[in-house]
Amino acid sequence: MSESCKYHLVCGMEVHAELKTNSKMFCGCKNDPFGAEKPNSHTCPVCLGMPGALPVANKKAIEWTIKLGLALNCKINLFSKFDRKNYFYPDLPKAYQISQYDIPFCYEGVIETSHGPIRITRIHLEEDTGKLLHKEIKGEDVSLIDYNRSSVPLIEIVTEPDIKSPEQAEEYGRALRDIIRYLDIGNCDMEQGGMRLEANISLQENGKEGLPNYKTEVKNINSFKFAKQAIEFEMERQEEILEEGNIPKQETRGWDAKKSVTFSQRTKEDAEDYRYFPDPDLPPIRFTTEQIEKIRKDIPKLPHVLVKEWKENYGVEERYSSILFNSPSEAKWLEELFVLSKKEGLKANKLVGAMVNKNVKYNFTDKVESVINEFKKLNKTDDVSDDDLIKIIDNVIKANADTVARYKAGEKQLINFFFGQTMKALGKKVDGGLLRKLLTQQLDK
Amino acid sequence: MLNKITKQQVHHVAKLANIPIDDSEAEKLATGFRETLETITDLQSVDVSGVEPTHQVTGMENILREDKVDDSRTFTQEQALANAKQTHQGFFVVPRLIKK
Ligand SMILES: [Zn+2]
């Protein structure tokens, strides 16, 4: 979209993510559709939708949904239930998906991005569908179905239309994935469909309040980069339509990653009619405030909070700390390391710098003491008096008269040559800053 | 409103239920729908102002299971596919769903 554009983006996102429980959402089948040795090998009467089979909800999946909600500053519905979303499509053998309609587990949260906050409308829990493959077999166009994924717990995170740029959409997706992974509740493997993105996109004229009178929904986006590109593409496409005095069609569009375009999939005329109603097979769920508080206590401090705290308490720069850890246990180890380095009078930022630059080798299984010792060794300097040092420097200068002449003529970078020669002659480790100072002093004499 | 059950609405409901019907059937069903809805409308006359809305009648709550794999009910691939009309290399087969 052009710089001088008279429209701005109005965008909300819907993100689906599979939870990595051991068993499925409503039955005891193994939740491992990607690791299954063959198709349709992790199924039972419940997840194949056989008549009379009775679903029973997975407690851990519900607790994890609430855990994510709390981490995203959501309010929690103490009373909740599951509903049936009815539609005929072979990826769902029951002809309905168990989902949540009007009482999701979590609502009204917020997530921070560098472009501003994005409000979370709701987080609900549902079951994933079977996986479809479209193929030609013996000249016949068919779809193949694998129900190993049927009834895998799936959360849907819906935002308010607060996303103001394609970049913010990308950042939001990544932030959400990082939090889900950090909470250790989902793998969010995009390539395997463990996390799927949808964006509701429209443009509003600058200066106009409220939401535009249309929106397009782009579905099945399987990377954060594609989300950004799809939004960029839609902004341009919609701007053209608006500029012609028309309103873009209310429709569902797909993303073609090969051509980097969106394409029309379904228009409003055949919009879904899901006829939601409470699932009579699944009694409602009621939590107490105490139970919710117990889940809240289990939530580790999130990375962005730690990064901020470490900066304040130990002077550790974000460029180091943000790339050092991927799990709460690794964060805990780092915290211990910082406490000890402070006690030892060491600069934690120098230490992590050395760790990031691999000058100090470390493992999260190491004792923090050994890492501190490793760092001390690196910075250890031998005692050499200034006089002795100057003697050696003068020898080096004498032995390299030609180079000294070039240095004096302006090739100041030759200081590094003298530095190296002096170090070699010295055979000991000295403070580099001091050596450089003395070298300059003697050379400039 | 009840007198206005149209053939289009019947077709819509039939489509949602995945039941193929023709026009004459739709006509007949429209009449049937009207009668059914009129009967149900009788319920509207019941005074429910003092009754709490409910989602279910068993009175049960929090019927949940622990997150444990229960192999005892898992089908083998052969069992899972036993009633399928058509299969291919361990998959269920249906007519192609997405246009090429
Ligand atoms: Zn199952």
Which region, left, alpha or beta, applies to residue A95 given φ > 0 means left and ψ of -120 to 50 means alpha? left
Across the range A13-17, mean pLDDT stands at 98
Task: Please answer yes or no on whether A61 and B97 come within 8 Å at the CB atom.
Answer: no
Q: Which two tokens stand for residue A202?
A: 């429209």
Confidence class of residue A274 from pLDDT cuts 50, 70 and 90? very high
Cβ burial A306-334 (10 Å sphere, 16+ → b, else e):
bbeebeeebebeeebbeebbeebeebebb
A1 within some domain: no
DSSP labels, A387-441: HHHHHHHHHHHHHTHHHHHHHHTT-GGGHHHHHHHHHHHH-S---HHHHHHHHHH
The answer to whether residues A280 and A312 belong to one domain is: no
User: Which of the residues A63, A142, A291 would you substitute to probe the B interface, choosing the one with the greatest number of B C-beta atoms within 10 Å?
Assistant: A142
More confident residue, A271 or A45: A45
Q: How far is the CA of B77 from the centre of ligand 1 (A)?
A: 12
Confidence class of residue B1 from pLDDT cuts 50, 70 and 90? very low
Task: Please answer yes or no on whether B12 and A132 come within 8 Å at the CB atom.
Answer: no
The pLDDT of residue A275: 92
Q: What residues in A contact B17, CB-CB < 8 Å? A: 88
Per the CB < 8 A criterion, the answer to whether A248 and A218 are in contact is no
The answer to whether residues A307 and A339 belong to one domain is: yes
Residue B97 sits at the chain A interface (C-beta within 8 Å): yes
The answer to whether residues A21 and A54 belong to one domain is: yes
Which of A57, A60, A145 lies at the smallest CB-CB distance from B91? Answer: A145
Last residue of a domain, one of A237, A262, A291: A291
The answer to whether residues A150 and A224 belong to one domain is: yes
Q: What residues in A contact B13, CB-CB < 8 Å? A: none
Task: Please answer yes or no on whether A141 and B69 come within 8 Å at the CB atom.
Answer: no
The answer to whether residues A103 and A184 belong to one domain is: yes
The answer to whether residues A244 and A354 belong to one domain is: no
Residues of the domain holding A407:
386-443
The answer to whether residues A213 and A189 belong to one domain is: yes
Q: What residues in A contact B68, CB-CB < 8 Å? A: 22-23, 28
Percent of chain B with pLDDT over 90: 58
How far, in Å, are A70, A81, A180, B16, B52 from residue A14 at the CA level?
18, 21, 15, 25, 33
A304 within some domain: yes
A185 within some domain: yes
The answer to whether residues A370 and A394 belong to one domain is: no
- Measured at the CA of A176, the angle between CA A357 and CA A234, to 5 degrees, comes to 110
How far apart are the C-alpha atoms of A338 and A335, rounded to whole Å?
5
Cβ burial B48-57 (10 Å sphere, 16+ → b, else e):
eeeeeeebee
A327 within some domain: yes
- Total of domains in chain A: 3
How far apart are the C-alpha atoms of A18 and A195, rounded to whole Å?
7
Last residue of a domain, one of A291, A309, A326: A291
Task: Please answer yes or no on whether A86 and B98 come within 8 Å at the CB atom.
Answer: no
Task: Please answer yes or no on whether A59 and B67 come within 8 Å at the CB atom.
Answer: yes
A269 → chain B, closest CA residue: B12
**CA neighbor of A141 nearest in space, from B86, B19, B25:** B86
Say which DSSP state A156 is in: E
A17 has a pLDDT exceeding 90: yes
For residue A405, count CB atoms less than 10 angstroms from its CB and return exposed for 0-12, middle for 13-18, buried for 19 or more: exposed
Residue A110, phi then psi, degrees to nearest 5? -155, 145
Residue B54 sits at the chain A interface (C-beta within 8 Å): no
Last residue of a domain, one of A350, A378, A406: A378
Per the CB < 8 A criterion, the answer to whether A354 and A341 are in contact is no
The answer to whether residues A95 and A132 belong to one domain is: yes
Give pTM, 2 decimals: 0.83
The answer to whether residues A166 and A91 belong to one domain is: yes
Across the range A11-37, mean pLDDT stands at 97
Per the CB < 8 A criterion, the answer to whether A47 and A120 are in contact is no
The answer to whether residues A20 and A136 belong to one domain is: yes
**CA neighbor of B92 nearest in space, from A48, A73, A286, A56:** A48
A2 within some domain: no
> Order of strands, edge to edge, in the sheet holding A140-146?
A131-137, A140-146, B91-95, B87-88
Residues A183, A189, A192, A198, CA torsion sign: positive
A274 within some domain: yes
How far apart are the C-alpha atoms of A292 and A65, rounded to whole Å?
11
Q: pLDDT tens digits for A374-433?
A: 888 877 766 777 788 888 899 999 999 899 999 988 888 888 899 888 888 877 777 777
The answer to whether residues A347 and A405 belong to one domain is: no
A200 within some domain: yes
Residue B85 sits at the chain A interface (C-beta within 8 Å): no
List beta partners, residue A266. A252
Residue A20, phi then psi, degrees to nearest 5? -100, 50
Rounded to a whole number, what is the distance in Å from the CA of B59 to chain A's nearest CA?
Answer: 8
Residue B22 sits at the chain A interface (C-beta within 8 Å): no
Per the CB < 8 A criterion, the answer to whether A264 and A248 are in contact is no
The pLDDT of residue A278: 95
Q: pLDDT tens digits for A283-310?
A: 999 999 999 999 999 999 998 889 999 9
Q: Which two tokens stand for residue A54?
A: 């009775």
Across the range A24-51, mean pLDDT stands at 96
Q: Which two tokens stand for residue A39?
A: 């198709």
List beta partners, residue A216. A201, A251
Percent of chain A with pLDDT over 70: 97
The pLDDT of residue B3: 61
Per the CB < 8 A criterion, the answer to whether A198 and A176 are in contact is no
What is chain B's mean pLDDT, rounded? 90
Three-state secondary-structure class, residue A155: strand
Complex ipTM: 0.89
A135 → chain B, closest CA residue: B96
Q: What residues in A contact B55, CB-CB < 8 Å? A: 81, 278, 284
What is chain A's mean pLDDT, rounded? 92
List beta partners, residue A159. A120
Long-range CB pairs of A221-225, under 8 A, 24+ apart, other chains included: A221/A196, A221/A197, A221/A255, A222/A190, A222/A191, A222/A193, A222/A196, A222/A197, A222/A257, A223/A190, A223/A257, A224/A170, A224/A173, A224/A174, A224/A177, A224/A190, A224/A197, A225/A170
Tally C-beta pairs within 8 A across A and B. Answer: 140
Task: Please answer yes or no on whether A40 and B80 come within 8 Å at the CB atom.
Answer: yes
Which of A30, A40, A147 lies at the smallest CB-CB distance from B69? Answer: A30
Cα dihedral A82/A87/A89/A92 (nearest 10): 20
Q: pLDDT tens digits for A187-241?
A: 999 999 999 999 999 999 998 888 899 999 999 899 999 999 999 999 999 999 9
Rounded to a whole number, what is the distance in Å from the CA of B69 to chain A's nearest CA?
Answer: 5
Residue B20 sits at the chain A interface (C-beta within 8 Å): no
Task: Please answer yes or no on whether B90 and A142 come within 8 Å at the CB atom.
Answer: no
- Read off the CATH number of the domain in which A428 is found: 1.10.10
A58 within some domain: yes
Alpha helices by DSSP H, listed for A27-165, are 59-71
